[in-house]
C-alpha cells in the first residue's frame, strides 16, 4: 500500500516544492496538499489514522498551526507530525514539540538531504508504532530517563553505542540547546577510556572561543552518566546541505570558515582528526562551526588517549599517514578538509572502495582526484590540500586561508 502523506499549508508554491522533494525520496508515496485558507482547516472526511505522515505549517490563515497539531495528536492512531517552522523562530519550534510534534523543518532553510533525514526518522517512528512498540512520548519529554536542571526535554536527536543526543530548551532564556549524554557503568574498566575521551572533548572545546567552533555551555558528571550541553544548529550539518555539488564560490566560503576554525584549534595545540561533513554544522545565518572533538588530540599533551598505531577517524576523510596509524600533525586535518572540499564541489567522495581498508589504500596510492571543468580554478588548491606527503601540503591553516583568499578574489566568481 503506498504511503499517504498530507501537507497542510496555505502557500501553494511551498506545498508543491515540498511535495516534489518527498516524491523524489519516495516515488511510491501519495503526497496530498491541503490549503486550509481555501475552506476547512482539515480536508473533508479527514481521518488521521489513514495517513502515514502529516506536515503542518506554523500559520494556517488566521489559525495557529501549533493548536492544530495539539488537537491532531490527541486523536487515536495519529501518525508522526512534522512542524513547518518559521525560519529562525526557536520559540515556535519549542511550542510545537511541546504540543506533540515529532519533528520540524525550518521553512526556507531545509535542504533536500535534511528533508530526507526528517522523512526517514518520521517513517521509522511510524513503523515502530505500527508494530506495537512504544511510540516516543510527547509533550516535550520523549526520553524521561534523562533530566537536566534548568532545561526542558524536547526530543531525541539520535543515539549511538556510547552516547545519546537530545534537543532541549534552556528554561531561563528559552534557547534551544543540545545535550550529548554519555552513559557509563561506575567502576567498569572497559568504559574508562571512552569516558576519558568524552571528558577530553569538553576540555578541548571549552577553552576555545571562536565563531567557527561549537559553543559549549555546561558539563556535568553523575554516577552513571556524563553530559555536555552545547549550542543547537538549525541549519543542520554540511552533509545535509551538499546535494550534487555546490557553486565554487559557496564552497570556498565554507572552506574558508572551516580553515579559520582549524587555525583557532591548531593555535591552542588541538588536532581534530575526524573532519567530515557530518561534523561541520550550520547556524541560522549560514555560518559554519566544527563539532565532535571526541577523537581530538592535544598535540603537546604529556598523555594521549590513543596507542601507537591506533587509527581514529573516518576512512573516507583520512590522510594517508592517519590511515597508516602514523603520528599526525596539523597537515592531516588539512588533508581531511581537502577531501571535504572535493565533496562540496562534486557531491561525491574522491575515493570509494568495498572495504575501509580499500579506501585507506586509495588515499595512499590512488591519483589525486580531478575536479569537473567548471571547478578547474580550484584544482591546484585541492591538489595541495590532498597531497600524499604532508611536506607537500599547506604547512598551516593560515597558509591555506591565504591561498583561498587569492582564489576568491581572482578567477572564481561563480
pLDDT at 73: 93
Going by C-alpha positions, the residue among 373, 391, 369, 396 that lies closest to residue 382 is 369
Report the C-alpha gap between 343 and 362 in whole angstroms. 16
pLDDT at 357: 92
Cα angle, residue 356 at apex, residues 247 and 310 outer, rounded to 5°: 110
- The one catalytic residue in 102, 103, 274, 292 is 274
DSSP codes, 94-151:
HHHHHHT-SEEEETTS--HHHHHHHHHHHHHHHHHHHTTPPPPP-TT-S-TT---TTE
Predicted TM-score of the model (pTM): 0.78
Q: Which residues of the chain have pLDDT under 50?
A: 130-144, 302-311, 413-414
pLDDT at 215: 92
pLDDT at 273: 87
Residues contacting 390, CB < 8 A, separation 6+ = 319, 321, 329, 331, 332, 335
The residue written with cell numbers 554519555 in the block is 182
pLDDT at 164: 86
Q: Report in angstroms the alpha-carbon separations of 57 from 60, 65, 285.
A: 6, 6, 22
pLDDT at 404: 96
pLDDT at 345: 97
Longest dimension (CA), the chain: 70
Query: HSE of 180 in the Cβ direction (CA atoms, 13 Å)?
Result: 23
Residues contacting 63, CB < 8 A, separation 6+ = 36, 41
pLDDT at 37: 82
Tens-place pLDDT, residues 345-370: 999 999 999 999 999 999 999 999 99
Q: Is 292 a catalytic residue?
A: no
Going by C-alpha positions, the residue among 116, 102, 110, 121 that lies closest to residue 26 is 116
Hey, what domains does the chain have and what are their CATH numbers?
4-130 (3.40.50.2300), 151-231 (3.30.200.20), 238-408 (1.10.510.10)
Strands 216-221 and 225-231: antiparallel
Tens-place pLDDT, residues 290-344: 998 766 666 655 444 444 344 456 899 999 999 988 989 999 999 999 999 999 9
Residue 181 pairs in a beta bridge with 164, 227
Amino acid at each position: 500500500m503506498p504511503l499517504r502523506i498530507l501537507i497542510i499549508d496555505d502557500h501553494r508554491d511551498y506545498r508543491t516544492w515540498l511535495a516534489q522533494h518527498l516524491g523524489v525520496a519516495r516515488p511510491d508515496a501519495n503526497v496530498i496538499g491541503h490549503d486550509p485558507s481555501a475552506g476547512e482547516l482539515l480536508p473533508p472526511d479527514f481521518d488521521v489514522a489513514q495517513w502515514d505522515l502529516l506536515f503542518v505549517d506554523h500559520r494556517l490563515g488566521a489559525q495557529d498551526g501549533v493548536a492544530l497539531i495539539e488537537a491532531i495528536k490527541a486523536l487515536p492512531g495519529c501518525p508522526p507530525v512534522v512542524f513547518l517552522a518559521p525560519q529562525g523562530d526557536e520559540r515556535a519550534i519549542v511550542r510545537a514539540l511541546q504540543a506533540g510534534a515529532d519533528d520540524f523543518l525550518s521553512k526556507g532553510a531545509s535542504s533536500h538531504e535534511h528533508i530526507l533525514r526528517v522523512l526517514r526518522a518520521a517513517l521509522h517512528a511510524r513503523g515502530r508504532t505500527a508494530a506495537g512498540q512504544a511510540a516516543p512520548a510527547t509533550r516535550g519529554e520523549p526520553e524521561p530517563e534523562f533530566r537536566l536542571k534548568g532545561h526542558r526535554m524536547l526530543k531525541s536527536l539520535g543515539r549511538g553505542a556510547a552516547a545519546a543526543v537530545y534537543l532541549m530548551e534552556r528554561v531561563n532564556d528559552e534557547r534551544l540547546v543540545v545535550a550529548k549524554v554519555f552513559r557509563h557503568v561506575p567502576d567498569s574498566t572497559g568504559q574508562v577510556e571512552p569516558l576519558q575521551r568524552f571528558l577530553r572533548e569538553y576540555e578541548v572545546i571549552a577553552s576555545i572561543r571562536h565563531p567557527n567552533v561549537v559553543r559549549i555551555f555546561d558539563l556535568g558528571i553523575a554516577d552513571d552518566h556524563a553530559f555536555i550541553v552545547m549550542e543547537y544548529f538549525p541549519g543542520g550539518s554540511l552533509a545535509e546541505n551538499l546535494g550534487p555539488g555546490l557553486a565554487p564560490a559557496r564552497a570556498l566560503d565554507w572552506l574558508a570558515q572551516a580553515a579559520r576554525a582549524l587555525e583557532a584549534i591548531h593555535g591552542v595545540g588541538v588536532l581534530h582528526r575526524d573532519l567530515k561533513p557530518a561534523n561541520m554544522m550550520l547556524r541560522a545565518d549560514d555560518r559554519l562551526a566544527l563539532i565532535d572533538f571526541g577523537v581530538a588530540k592535544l598535540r603537546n599533551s604529556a598523555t594521549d588517549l590513543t596507542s601507537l598505531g591506533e587509527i581514529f577517524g573516518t576512512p573516507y576523510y583520512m590522510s594517508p599517514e592517519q590511515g597508516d596509524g602514523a603520528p599526525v600533525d596539523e597537515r592531516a586535518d588539512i588533508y581531511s578538509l581537502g577531501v571535504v572540499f572535493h565533496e562540496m564541489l562534486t557531491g561525491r567522495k574522491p575515493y570509494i572502495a568495498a572495504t575501509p581498508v580499500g579506501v585507506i589504500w586509495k588515499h595512499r596510492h590512488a591519483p589525486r582526484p580531478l575536479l569537473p571543468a567548471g571547478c578547474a580554478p580550484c584544482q591546484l588548491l585541492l591538489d595541495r590540500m590532498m597531497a600524499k606527503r604532508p611536506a607537500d601540503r599547506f604547512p598551516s591553516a593560515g597558509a591555506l586561508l591565504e591561498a583561498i583568499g587569492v582564489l576568491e578574489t581572482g578567477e572564481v566568481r561563480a
